[in-house]
Amino acid sequence: MSSNQIQSLSGFRDFFPEELSSRRHIFSAWRRVCERYGFSEYDGPPLEPLELYTRKSGDGIVGQLYEFEDKGGRPVALRPEMTPTFARMIALRAAALPKPIRWFSIPQLFRYERPQRGRLREHFQLNMDIVGETNFLADAEIIAAGIDALRELGLNKSHIRVRVSDRRLMVSLLDAIGVAGASHHAVFNTLDRLDKRPRDEIAKELQGIVSDQEVAGRILELTERSISQLQDEFADHESVVKAADDLVGVLGCLEKSGLEGYAEFDASLVRGLAYYTGTVFEIWEREGQLRAICGGGRYDDLLQALGGVDLPAVGFGMGDVVLSELLKEHQLMPAEVGCVDDYIVCVSEEERATALKVAHSLRDSGRRVTQDLQSRKVSRQLKAANQAGAERAIILGAEELSRGMVLVKDLESGEEQEVPLDSLTDRKG
Ligand code: HAM
């Protein structure tokens, strides 16, 4: 690389045509699924007031903000996630919108993280959220949509698994074993690192929070229980029973929809973001090499906190970075599709006027057309047509044109056929 070349920033991607083709492949699958679930697309500003994130997102994300003062001295941040923008926008129109509201978006987000495999400083994220429904059917529908957004790309239960838990359940369990409400947030933050740090380190940290070795040990034991074990063990605790019933309901809905074998209860899942109040879930690669592909949950207080309207909500964010890695690993990313149907070849510059007319008429009829822009040899033009992945070469030569004909070459079979010039240039309007 020459010394005066400026490199892109670490953790930011250039999308060359082949990478953009992969991105478009993912986005179109996502959009198809969102439409099938009856969701409407929205977008918001990439730059927001800093306060939108400091109020409710939690320390993890706030520590990763790209924040600065704009020229007017306002504290602002590039959006690190879409949920606060979504909550702000919904609050503006909440009264007028029929409920439940089902909206989706595919924003580019920015987080100052340490770049590594599956983790960058920008990523795109499909967000699907339902607002105005407390019934666990909404939670199940959101999880099903997340699974389907991946199934649409060729992944299935042999590649992915959904870990599901519930903050209400965990809060009730912590209450039941005597952990003070004031410590719950710190306990969740510690448990969120369970799969990244050694267990004895986590145990020590929990001990520091609850100041009791036995209780710290019990918290860790709870993270390994199945739902039926918890139901038996805490049968006398009404709030545990209710939260467990809802969770069983969510899992049951997925099975009844035909998505059995994808989701399982995992008490060790808490999720880092501070605003979740109920169901939480993440979708992981089964092998578990990469970070989560998708994460979400119920956040019934965020709209009140950011927009002053009291509406429950549930949704998820699914990132494109981990997903692209996974699709490539399983040979599920299609090769870049050709972007040319017809390549116009001129035998000499004499045919240029006809070439312009043919190219324009074919484009008007919806064909994707490239014409050779130099007076190159026919063989060079045909080579360029093949390289462009064109289906046909339309060869314009003086002799054929004098008879009102052109030569059309099928570039796959090599077959050539004369067709009347009029058949390519006749168009209405
Ligand atoms: P999140 O768990 O922070 O949730 O992000 C969701 C997904 O985005 C992750 O599972 C991961 O695939 C992807 N992702 C996040 N950060 C990065 C990064 N630095 N590089 C690559 N991929 C990344 C949220 O953002 C919530 N707002 C989701 C939500 C919507 N909850 C309710 N509605």
The preferred substitution site among 102, 195, 276, 291 for testing ligand 1, maximizing ligand atoms within 8 Å of CB, is 291
Contact criterion met (CB below 8 Å) for 281 and 298? no
Ligand 1 atom index nearest CA of 119 = 20
**How far, in Å, from the CA of 291 to the mean position of ligand 1?**
10
Ligand 1 atom index nearest CA of 113 = 19
Residue 68 pLDDT greater than 70, yes or no? yes
Eight-state DSSP code of residue 417? E
- pLDDT of 195 reads 82
Give the pLDDT confidence of 222-260 residue by residue, as tens digits.
999 999 999 999 999 999 999 999 999 999 999 999 999
Residue 428 pLDDT greater than 70, yes or no? no
Give the pLDDT confidence of 79-91 residue by residue, as tens digits.
999 999 999 999 9
Parts of the chain belonging to CATH 3.40.50.800 = 342-425
Tokens read off for 127: 């967000």
Rounded to an integer, the average pLDDT of 283-292 is 88
d(CA 91, CA 99): 13
Q: Which fold has domain 17-329?
A: BirA Bifunctional Protein; domain 2 (3.30.930)
**How far, in Å, from the CA of 90 to the mean position of ligand 1?**
20
- At the second CATH level, the architecture of 342-425 is 3-Layer(aba) Sandwich (3.40)
Helices 199-210 and 213-222, axial angle in degrees (round to 10): 130
d(CA 378, CA 393): 11
- Residue 92's H or E segment, with its range, is helix 83-93
Parts of the chain belonging to CATH 3.30.930.10 = 17-329
Residue 429 pLDDT greater than 60, yes or no? no
Give the pLDDT confidence of 151-199 residue by residue, as tens digits.
999 999 999 999 999 999 999 999 999 999 999 989 998 998 888 889 8
The ligand 1 site (C-beta within 6 Å) comprises 81-83, 111, 113, 119-120, 123, 125, 127, 129, 273, 292-296, 315-317, 319, 321-322
Determine what percent of the chain is predicted with pLDDT higher than 90.
86
